[in-house]
Structure 1
Amino acid sequence: MVLINLQGIRVEVKDRTLFHIKDLSIHQGDRIGMVGRNGSGKTSLLQVIAKEREPTAGVVIQRASVALLPQLKPQVDQKSGGEISQAVIHETFSQDADVLLADEPTTHLDMENVEKLEQQLKRRQEAMVVVSHDRAFLDALCNQIWELDDEQIRVYSGNYTEYEQQKEAARKHHEKEYEKYIHKKKQLEEAMEQKDQKAQRAVKKPKNLSGSEAKAAKFAKPYFAKKQKKLNQGVKSIQTRIDQLDKVEKIKELPPIKMQVAHEASLNKRTIIRGEKVSGTVGDRLLWQAFDFSVAGGDKVALIGPNGSGKTTFLHMILGGAQGIHISPTVSFGYFSQMLEVLDVNDSILDNVSSTSSQDPTLIRTVLARLGFFRDDVFKEVHVLSGGERVKVAFAKLFVSDANVLILDEPTNYLDIEAVEELGSLLHDYSGTVMLVSHDRRLLEHVATKVFAIRDQQVHFFEGPYREYTQAEPQKDHDPLEDQLLMVDTKVSDVLSRLSLEPSEKLEEEFQRLLQEKNMLKQRLEKRQ
């Protein structure tokens, strides 16, 4: 059953076409993941589907109710980004629409809440279109991928991994077609060169001829001229065949990155950051109990834990050399945060990135190309860039700086999937040290060589890749009652915050009802344990 149909849709921004869609539908049971570069129009398309934005041309036929979960959540005093995201998610879910549109729903959620959101969405019955840079999230939810690229949408069946496999198969097919094209072209060019050489020899006067031979050659000249003409026609015919070949362009592959990291040899595998009896507190609140730790040169450390557990606090303590933390004098930190204060908005991309780097200019341009800034793109001033593009510039500036320890706090927010994948590849190949906070599980699997996990006011260590850590962790059985309790708990927090701003008898009654429901669910869980 068709729930939404897009006919002849075109969306323009100023004088640029974002995308045009001839005919596209959302059916009952569709679970669509939408991917594409920053600025390709993913958010605009969701707004068009929800009828919150008028297309430049075309019509949206809605045969079902629609709810839109926006990417940019409203700021609320005294609430963290994760708390705001959960409140907006709950409010959107409560609409019980037939089609759910979710724009980066995992932003600001910790890994535990991302996984809980996955389970909630799996159980929901409505059709959905999800924009996300979290590849594991798309794998868990989607049965179809929409790729927004080059002003068009291409539809792929399956989840994100299956989409990657189809793209890889297409790439390999393209490579084979290119090889066939080059082979055939070379064959024709060689045949053309041979005919051309024969044509040149056909009328070339032989040397050291006797009188009788010269006289015979004179009478044979018209014959050879005719032969040359025929050979030249053959050359032209082959050239025509070359010109008529279906040209196949070679896939552009950027060269690998090999950077010079300061003091790389002297720091490698040696302890460069050491902590003794380091405890974390915010005011009177204990984040984690005192613990010892060490980081060696070349380590790629994943720092994970729930929202509010103290991950960012821990990074700041390392950057500030807090009490009990000892740092090698050869360490030079590079810190990434979403504030992007490292950028001068009036300078170009290239000037921003080069200003703090002693790397070779060619390497800098290669890093920028890997992140999607090609040729003259690098001369754009930062103030004209989108939020996601600015994040990429800030990361590039940090990556090619003279730092040898990168401290990254949620670097993937607002990035497109392609940029996240390139960021993962760059960090994987980086020979310096990385400490990384991220809820992107695929990124952590690709990069992390050890794990610091903050939970229950303690920091736990795992010496090994992130994937091995997740396999070593005991897996909890899925419990619908716990999910129900989580949802009610979120409702309680939401009503409580509204009560503090606008008290009313109706809200008070709802608060008391939710408290009773919460207590009943807790009792049912306790009885089963």
Structure 2
Amino acid sequence: MGQVELTKTKSAREENAGKMERGAHALQKRAHKQNDVTKPFQGSSVKLMASDFPVFTGKTVAHVDHLDLSRNGKKLLQQVTFQIKPGERIALVGPNGIGKTTLIKAMLNGQMHTQLSQHARVVYFNQDITKLPKAKSVWAFIQQASVLDDVRSRQIMGAFGINQVFYSRLIGELSGGEQVKLQLLSILLSSSNFLILDEPTNFLDRQALTALADYLINYPGTVLLVSHDLTFRTQVVTRTLMFREKTLIDPQQIVLHAKQPSKLPLLQLKYDRLMAAADSDTAELQALKQAIDKLK
């Protein structure tokens, strides 16, 4: 092959390589552009405002007063009393079968010795996907359930992994896990100020768990939930009620109301020193004696 042919062949190769490189850059640029379009609907941080949901007025969302709770003749709780204040995120904690769901249902059904505020707008999640409208599309279902605008509804759906690919699909075509996510989203986005969530973390992947924690932390209402996920609870809840020996223990309150160390030993020591002193004040001795007698 002559020098001219070699030069032409080299030039052709370089030209083809240049075209391929430019084509690759164009494809990459197009892919980035598509990603930029869909990015707001995939994993965006949840932004909620108090005005998005019904405002709660009052000092107590729910009140349980000396409740005895049984199931199938078995005593679960005895003379239990607690209150739920606006804005609290409370976890009910205990092993399976101890009565967490039974307590929730007692509150929802207005059982004697339980009371929900008339201003509470309660929604309840319990993983019952049998009632989902299987013939309705995903987006039509969420659009009907949500009190948020379409853009933010889609952002939150995307954060849970339900992106635009799912919008036109029928609910009945989704997997069981996807249906659980959809049911949970319909509850979270509804017109409420008190969320009661029974095992919402079951069947959720890591992305959805992160989105749920983010949502609940930013939710302006009150939350009562059941979850065995300690990491999730630690991140989200402001208070814990633990089932123990047919009562509910609030570890936070135990710490707050722990018995303070007695001042008696210090007062007794001071009294003994004054008694031994030659120039002790009689009035001070009498005051110390009275203080000691009150503590005994």
Note whether the superposition's TM-score is higher than 0.5. Answer: yes
Query: Structure 2 stretches of 5 or more lacking a match?
Result: 1-21, 256-296
Q: Structure 1 CA distance, aligned partners of 2:102 and 2:158?
A: 33
**Would you say the 8 A contact 1:306–1:455 is kept in 2?**
no
Equivalent in 145, 153, 157 of residue 368 of structure 1: 157
Compute the displacement of 1:462 (Å). Answer: 3.2
Instruction: Give the unaligned 5+ runs of structure 1.
Output: 1-239, 469-529
Residue 47 (structure 2) aligned to one of 248, 254, 257: 257
The equivalent residue for 1:283 is 72
**CA contact under 8 A between 1:304 and 1:438: conserved in structure 2?**
yes
Show the counterpart of 1:412: 201
> Match for residue 340 of structure 1?
129
Deviations 1:77-113 (A, max 9, x none): xxxxxxxxxxxxxxxxxxxxxxxxxxxxxxxxxxxxx
Counterparts of residues 120-519 of structure 1 (less than 5 Å): 249=32, 252=39, 254-259=44-49, 260-264=52-56, 266=57, 270-463=59-252
Displacement after TM superposition at 1:256 (Å)? 3.1
2: CA distance, partners of 1:373 / 1:327:
33
Shift of 1:339: 1.5
Indicate conservation of the 8 Å contact 1:343/1:352, yes or no: no
- SS of aligned partner of 1:394: helix
For residues 361 and 371 of structure 1, the distance between their equivalents in structure 2, rounded to whole angstroms, comes to: 15
The residue type paired with residue 225 of structure 2 is L
CA contact (8 A) 1:388 1:416 kept: no
For residues 362 and 297 of structure 1, the distance between their equivalents in structure 2, rounded to whole angstroms, comes to 28
Shift of 1:354: 2.3
Distance 1:292-1:255 versus aligned 2 partners, 3 A rule: closer
Give the deviation of 1:255 after TM superposition: 4.7
Provide the C-alpha distance between the structure 2 equivalents of 1:279 and 1:395, rounded to a whole number of angstroms: 31
Q: Which residue of 1 aligns with 2:12?
A: none
- SS, match of residue 314 in structure 1: helix
Tell me, in whole angstroms, the C-alpha distance in 2 between the residues paired with 1:404 and 1:342: 23
Cα gap change, 1:357 to 1:374, in 2 (>3 Å): closer
Judged with a 3 Å threshold, the aligned counterparts in structure 2 of structure 1 residues 308 and 299 are, in CA distance, closer, same or farther, namely: same
The residue type paired with residue 222 of structure 2 is T
User: What is the RMSD of the two structures over their aligned residues, measured on CA atoms?
Assistant: 2.5
| Structure 2 letter corresponding to 1:308 | G
Query: Percent of aligned pairs with the same residue?
Result: 29
Task: Quote the Cα distance in structure 2 between the aligned partners of 1:390 and 1:381.
Answer: 10
| Counterpart Cα distance in 1 of 2:235 and 2:209 | 11
Distance 2:211 2:146 in 1: 20
Contact 2:90 2:238 in 1 (8 A): yes
Aligned residues of 1:274 and 1:293 also touching (Cα < 8 A) = yes
The amino acid of 2:48's aligned partner reads K
Q: Is the 8 A contact 1:272 1:295 kept in 2?
A: yes
The separation in 2 between residues aligned to 1:274 and 1:376, in whole angstroms, is: 43
- Work out the CA distance in 2 between the residues paired with 1:276 and 1:341: 34
Specify the code of the residue in structure 1 equivalent to 2:212: L
Shift of 1:284: 2.2
Deviation, structure 1 residue 387 = 0.9
Amino acid across the alignment from 1:257: K
Number of aligned residue pairs: 222
- 1:463, CA displacement in angstroms? 3.6
- Is the CA contact (8 Å cut-off) linking 1:368 and 1:378 kept in structure 2? no
Contact 1:358 1:402 in 2 (8 A): yes
Q: Letter of the 1:409 partner, please give it.
A: D
Q: For the residues of structure 1 that align with 2:85 and 2:132, how far apart are their CA atoms?
A: 30
* Aligned 8 A contact 2:53 2:147 in 1: no
Please give the alpha-carbon distance, in whole angstroms, between the structure 2 residues aligned to 1:294 and 1:286: 21
**Which stretch shifts more, 329-338 or 340-349?**
340-349
Q: CA separation of 1:418/1:256 partners in 2, compared to 1, >3 Å: closer, same or farther?
A: closer
The answer as to whether partners of 1:452 and 1:459 remain within 8 angstroms in 2 is: yes
Normalization by structure 2: what TM-score?
Answer: 0.69
Aligned residue for 1:379, secondary structure, equals: coil
Question: Is the Cα contact below 8 Å between 1:333 and 1:404 reproduced in 2?
Answer: yes
C-alpha deviations, 1:282-330, integer Å up to 9, x for none? 1321101112110011110000011211000011011111101121111
Instruction: Quote the Cα distance in structure 2 between the aligned partners of 1:413 and 1:435.
Output: 16
